[in-house]
Amino acid sequence: MATAEALDDEINDLRDRIATVQAHRANLTSILLSQPHFPTRLEQRPVLHERDRRNAVKLVQKQSNRNLENIYRACAGVTAYKVKDPDPCAVDNGNILGVRIEVPINGIFVETYHVLFNRPNATHRTMLRIHKHTIPPCIPLQPLANKWLPVTKKSAEEPREQDLVKFSRHLRKELVSWHLRLEALEKLRKDARLPDRTAPQDGSKVETEIEMVLNAFVSDDEDSEVEDEATQQQQDGALKILRVDGDAAVREITITWSNGRVGIFRVTKDGEVDKVAVRTKEGTRDASLSSKALGRIEGLVERLEA
Amino acid sequence: MAPKPNTTVPDYKNVPHSHRLPTTHREVRRTFSKLSRQSLVSLALQWLAKKNRDFCRPYLLGDRDADEEEDDEQYTPAQSYEELQEIYKELAARKGGKREIQDRILEGDWRAGVSMYQLATAEIQYLLDHPNSLRWTAKRLARIPNAKNVSLDMEVTNDSEHLPRFQAQTFMANLARELTPLMKAHYLLIKIKTMPMTILRVYIHDSPYSTEASLAVDNGSSDSARAVFFIWPNGSPFIYSSIANHFGQVISDDGRHLRDIVQQAIPKAFSRPSVRYQLASTNFTTKSLDALLAYRGPGKSNAASGGWSIFQDHNFSQNALDFITSHKDEGQEKNGTRKDGTAGAAKAGPGRPKRTLEGNETSEAKRRREVAAGRFGSSAQPNDGQGLERVEVRIDDAFPPMPNPLEQADDVDTSNISEQSANRSRRGRPSLLDRSLDEIEELEGGDAWVPDVRVVFQGSHVFAGVRQLVEQGVVDGEKMPGWMTGEAGVTIGAVKEGRIRTKSGQIPGV
């Protein structure tokens, strides 16, 4: 058995090494293909088969296209491209304008979103309509489109000016600020020394589990003594933060302390905590803590613990 | 044990979590017999956890009266919660039948009754174990436009909100205020750890009393479903609703009616002063929770289904800092088909001379597979768990003036007509697809004859089936209209000029 395991280990080891070496080779290939004078040198050098040269030129072309595209994407943040709708019944012969929005966080691009436009109106050829998109519903796409893309309603008094650039700019702002808030929420969890949410916990073998009962307060008052006992035990320990939750758009953060105190913090889109309600277990407001919480989202936990 | 009230007076309270149903109650029996051994054990352990103990009192030794008989006791009551927890942990570790656990719960540790909380969690556990067990209808919470300040509604500012805000306490209070005059109910509202959603279960108690004794009474209507489920995915305006019926049981009008009452109360519970919501249909019904989360969920996939699924993942959009071109040939090819135009036709062209060597059959099959990949992208895989069972469309195009042998569309239509008409006579209820008066008027204005043709696709995964048909060459992948790839993201709709009709100005999937 031991030999089999050793062999397995060795095989896995080799696989890992193959993967690393392949990645290294791919990297070197793209570096080589990106050499500035590579195409000219390819032209000058004699080759055995003309076909090899053609293939090489094609590869260089592909690499330089990719380089150019990436540079635009990385520097501009919002880029446009054209695609073709394969649907034979698509409007406007399936011509689609795509807008691609990159979200950079901490020096890496974490996500790419697309909005795809078509031109439904045969008479007004410049009017765009959102055909497909990959924007999550917590981003206000509809209001933005209402504002910057013309509404083809009969009741619209004067046709609003279409402004694709402003639309994209605002959409990008929404997306990036959302990702920044997500990042800040993760940071708050770390500040509160909570276990990483994504890390597998001990209950990982159980597929779906009830996380939290939200209406436990509907329970009858009869049992309140028992409840108090349970929380009394918790109160003996040092006061600490049990949970830091945010809604999907991170516009509202809920912090639960071990003594039953709950704080709800409203966050604006640019990450400012602007409204706070902290309640103790008994239901009274904690005004001093509430006023402490106002400010940037980033230092929220430190301010609360100070 | 909760002291039993001596009098039963109609009141305005909800049914609390801790009220108990006798273990012989039909709902209890039915729910518990459906659960697997593993689920039963994990449920029992959850109930014994400290925070849930108030709602799930087991029968302990201390509960026994001194003068009670002990002879015919099958399970001796445990001394304490800790002992019980040990017992169930032991049971979880060893193998055995599920009957053993079921009996232990119903006849041993919870012989005095199963609380409403326990019943609710058990049903939700079953729902999570079998995500395809109920039929769900997706609705959307739509803001009722404010007549006074329309412009304010549309404004996107630094602290504007476009989604209904959900606060558990406020929501429950509002919902109870809407419903308690009409019925007594038990509510359980929970968040799920692994899926981004909140589940509300409403157990409808059709009685003016909210006492334990009244719960136990089985009112004669045997088949009526008493529980209704609502799910809202976090961070999206959608709500899925379903009646908790048991296998294959027909939902009675009573059950439907009760669900409608609860359903009407939900947008009201979400509303705030000057921010009113109503439920709008999204033309989407399915059994699969995964499909719901993909088509009406909180993520990127709502408005990019079918062939557009390549935009969701990194298949089409590589990282902007990824400069490596060499080892990603497969992904590149997919992009190529999309960019080159009509579904890979151009792609297959130059490659063809080489492939003739391999034989005509395989190259044709390969071409069809590429066409299917171009049309469906990464969606519609038979085992992706996002299958839609039924897709129904009405064709609103005018009848072609000449008996034109249109090979594709006609084949599909005729094969389904018999099934469809049979369907209608069986159902009796008006279909959602019946033309509205406006639409009929619109049709009568034109001079073309527009017959009422409907196409129904049924199966375990409709669009995976269509994809397979394309791969087999039964359906021509290049001439197939887009709605057959599932990119419209509806399960019911009207097709005009090859496209599913949508409201103008409405952006899909938000």
Residue B405 contacts by C-beta under 8 Å, 6 or more apart in sequence?
Answer: none
What pLDDT does residue A114 have? 92
Asked if residue B9 belongs to a domain, the reply is no
- Where is pLDDT greater, at A283 or A179? A179
Question: Which of B195, B317, B322 comes nearest A208 by C-beta?
Answer: B195
Whether A74 and B3 lie within 8 Å, measured CB to CB: no
User: Collapsing DSSP states into helix, strand and coil, what is residue A257?
Assistant: strand
Residue of B nearest to A89 (CA): B498
Do residues A253 and A300 lie in contact, with contact meaning Cβ atoms separated by under 8 Å?
yes
Asked if residue B69 belongs to a domain, the reply is no
Residue B275 and residue B332 in one domain? no
Residue B101 and residue B139 in one domain? no
Do residues B200 and B188 lie in contact, with contact meaning Cβ atoms separated by under 8 Å?
yes
What pLDDT does residue B441 have? 72
Question: Which of A87, A145, A206 comes nearest B42 by C-beta?
Answer: A206
Best probe of the B interface among A82, A121, A133, by most B CBs < 10 A, is A133
Q: Which residues of B touch A227 (CB under 8 A)?
A: 54
- How many whole angstroms separate alpha carbon B40 and alpha carbon B48? 12
Where b means 16+ CB within 10 Å and e means fewer, A200-215 reads eeeeeeeeeebebbbb
Do residues B95 and B75 lie in contact, with contact meaning Cβ atoms separated by under 8 Å?
no
Contact with chain B for residue A59, Cβ under 8 A: yes
Whether B338 and A170 lie within 8 Å, measured CB to CB: no
What pLDDT does residue A79 have? 92
């017959």: which residue's tokens?
B451
What pLDDT does residue B446 have? 65
């406007």: which residue's tokens?
A92
Neighbours of B409 (CB within 10 A): 17
- List C-alpha distances in Å: B202 to B119, B224, B389: 11, 14, 26
- How many whole angstroms separate alpha carbon A171 and alpha carbon A140? 8
Whether B507 and A222 lie within 8 Å, measured CB to CB: no
Q: CB-based burial of residue A116 (10 Å sphere; 0-12 exposed, 13-18 middle, 19+ buried)?
A: buried
Whether A136 and B341 lie within 8 Å, measured CB to CB: no
Residue B472 and residue B351 in one domain? yes
Whether B189 and A215 lie within 8 Å, measured CB to CB: yes
Q: Residue B409: which pLDDT band, with cuts at 50, 70 and 90?
A: very low
Chain B contacts in chain A segment 287-306 (CB below 8 A) = none
Neighbours of B448 (CB within 10 A): 10
What pLDDT does residue A152 have? 57
Residue B136 and residue B121 in one domain? no
pLDDT digits (tens, 9 = 90+) for A39-57: 888 888 777 788 888 888 8
Tokens of B346: 């151009």
Range name among A47-61, A168-182, B13-27, B242-256 with the lowest pLDDT average: B242-256
Instruction: Give the domain CATH number at B284.
Output: 3.60.90
Residue of B nearest to A204 (CA): B194
pLDDT at B218 over 90: no
Q: What is the mean pLDDT of chain B?
A: 76
Of B295, B318, B343, the residue at which a domain comes to its end is B295
- Where is pLDDT greater, at B143 or A214? B143
| HSE, side-chain direction, 13 A CA sphere, residue A156 | 13
What pLDDT does residue A115 have? 92
Asked if residue B151 belongs to a domain, the reply is no
Q: Which residues of B touch A108 (CB under 8 A)?
A: 319, 321
Instruction: Give the domain CATH number at B467.
Output: 3.10.20.720
Nearest Cα neighbor of B282 from B26, B113, B510, B77 is B510
Residue B217 and residue B347 in one domain? no
Single-letter residue type at B446: G
Asked if residue B4 belongs to a domain, the reply is no
Residue B460 and residue B408 in one domain? yes
Asked if residue B154 belongs to a domain, the reply is no
């080892």: which residue's tokens?
B327
Of B263, B295, B327, the residue at which a domain comes to its end is B295
Residue B88 and residue B55 in one domain? yes
User: Quick one: how many helices (H) and strands (E) in chain A?
Assistant: 8, 10
Whether A83 and B339 lie within 8 Å, measured CB to CB: yes
For this complex, say whether ipTM is above 0.90.
Answer: no
- List C-alpha distances in Å: B320 to A53, B316, B324, B478: 29, 11, 11, 32
Q: What share of chain A is helix, strand, coil (3-state, %, to 5)?
A: 45, 20, 30
Q: Residue A196: which pLDDT band, with cuts at 50, 70 and 90?
A: low
Whether A135 and B510 lie within 8 Å, measured CB to CB: yes
Range name among A81-85, A189-193, A216-220 with the lowest pLDDT average: A216-220
Question: Which of B52, B188, B303 comes nearest A132 by C-beta?
Answer: B303
pLDDT digits (tens, 9 = 90+) for A61-108: 888 888 998 899 889 889 999 988 888 888 888 899 999 999 999 888
pLDDT digits (tens, 9 = 90+) for B365-386: 889 888 888 888 888 888 888 8
- Domain hosting B485: range is 306-500
Of B270, B295, B320, the residue at which a domain comes to its end is B295
- List C-alpha distances in Å: B439 to B435, B444, B452, B492: 6, 9, 12, 16
Asked if residue B6 belongs to a domain, the reply is no
The Cα angle at residue B48 between residues B44 and B53, in degrees rounded to 5: 130
Residue B271 and residue B139 in one domain? yes
Q: Which residues of B touch A251 (CB under 8 A)?
A: 161
pLDDT at B70 over 80: no
CA A96 to chain centre: 25
Asked if residue B510 belongs to a domain, the reply is no
Q: Which residues of A touch B169 (CB under 8 A)?
A: 215, 217
Distance from CA of A46 to the nearest CA of B (A): 24
Residue B427 and residue B291 in one domain? no
Whether B128 and A207 lie within 8 Å, measured CB to CB: yes
Distance from CA of B343 to the nearest CA of A (A): 5
Residue B32 and residue B110 in one domain? yes
Return the top range by mean pLDDT from B11-20, B113-122, B394-403.
B113-122
- How many whole angstroms separate alpha carbon A223 and alpha carbon A195? 32
Best probe of the A interface among B311, B333, B484, by most A CBs < 10 A, is B311
What pLDDT does residue B71 have? 55
What pLDDT does residue A87 have? 85
Q: What is the DSSP string of A77-97?
A: SEEEEEEE---TT-GGGGEEE
Residue B345 and residue B451 in one domain? yes
Contact with chain B for residue A179, Cβ under 8 A: no
Chain B contacts in chain A segment 220-279 (CB below 8 A) = 220, 222-223, 226-227, 230, 247-249, 251-252, 266, 268-270, 274
What pLDDT does residue B428 have? 52
Q: CB-based burial of residue A178 (10 Å sphere; 0-12 exposed, 13-18 middle, 19+ buried)?
A: buried
User: Collapsing DSSP states into helix, strand and coil, what is residue B147?
Assistant: coil
- How many whole angstroms separate alpha carbon B444 and alpha carbon B450? 9
Tokens of A97: 């304008």
- R_g of chain A computed on alpha carbons: 28
Whether B190 and A145 lie within 8 Å, measured CB to CB: no
Nearest Cα neighbor of B396 from B454, B444, B437 is B454
What pLDDT does residue B360 have? 57
End-to-end CA distance of chain A: 57
Output the CA torsion sign for B207, B209, B210, B214.
Answer: negative
pLDDT at A11 over 80: yes
Neighbours of A194 (CB within 10 A): 15
Counting the structural domains of chain B, the total is 3
Asked if residue B12 belongs to a domain, the reply is no
Residue B483 and residue B364 in one domain? yes
Whether B2 and A220 lie within 8 Å, measured CB to CB: yes
Do residues A62 and B323 lie in contact, with contact meaning Cβ atoms separated by under 8 Å?
no
Length of chain B in terms of residues written: 510
- How many whole angstroms separate alpha carbon B207 and alpha carbon B407? 60
| HSE, side-chain direction, 13 A CA sphere, residue A46 | 1
Do residues B211 and B186 lie in contact, with contact meaning Cβ atoms separated by under 8 Å?
no
